[in-house]
Structure 1
């Protein structure tokens, strides 16, 4: 049966408008994005099938173009639309974070770092450069690959901090495994960078590890 023949309260779009997006399932949210189904399947039926095929909504959202487009009902146009939606979300989070001091909006920082780093298949090491009032100046990915004390160079971090005229910074890197527990190398690297930055009068405020769930704050654990 077509969705337009469903009771009004069961249609995803109408449910969203009446009750808000939080009440919708992953498949219902995806169905609104898809707009139409395929022969013999409504948009909701197709969405349920896709979530099942990918294993989760997150896996679908993070799929590359080749993996995305090999599934029923998905093609380059839908992939482009999805990437635009995801990028708008990331830019929204960036603007939200930049309005206030990073220390006054810790959840905004966490949300932004999740959006930027959680989906990356390889480790990336990034910096949020902050001014004297801890407002965001810039976000930069500085290193890629395995992040440890040997592959992240304090000199490069200091160079970029001085170039951005930063008074403070927040480090972050992702764990593709999804586990946010810092390794001994993570903690050693953080100590080395903190000591190096002190020589140029730049404060290291935190080091977030991004994985599944909420990013781990090393400052909150007393490791900075």
Structure 2
């Protein structure tokens, strides 16, 4: 199943379980749609207890189901959440009675158990709050890209090292309050920074020890972004030393 270029994939947790989120970013500018004001979901799990729902074969089976559902009703596919146990598709449609047509489609599926539901959602809360990435979610994409780049430069990724995170606020008092809260949250406070070309000119460098294992970095950047938001601040990036394998002489 081909997805438009406007789709974004990122890692996040759902109910405390790691999952992969996929979302159509192109829908954002027209959301919420007055005509497509009903949320539908199709949840797929395998009939086999050992099957991995992230496998290519299971993905293809589930996508064939959702293709049929989209054909029988006037719907827009908004996003997908998946992990090893389930695949869940989210769509927006025009008529809640289309649920009957969708239920007819999924009865013909083999090898998967499907569950469907629908509810009026004129404000597109599921798309806006669950699927569409906020700053913390989007940072996980940047983290993956940066870690992949460092891996190409032969970084070992898994050894612990000092990460430096650069956070900027609108005023110096806000920066000072943020620094104190960051210190209480376990971060070491580094040097103050200043960017006179930004609307958030007052910055500080935080330090923390971590591996470059992506879930570890994602957890750290999420904490920092959530903390900075309390003080109208933002994380602008992070860096660290590259750790390469040393050759034995």
Quickly name the TM-score band, shorter chain normalised. under 0.3
Give the alignment's TM-score, normalised by structure 1: 0.26
Please state which structure has a larger fraction of its residues in strand.
2
Please state which structure has a larger fraction of its residues in helix.
1
Computing the radius of gyration from Cα coordinates, the structure with the larger value is: 2
Give the alignment's TM-score, normalised by structure 2: 0.24
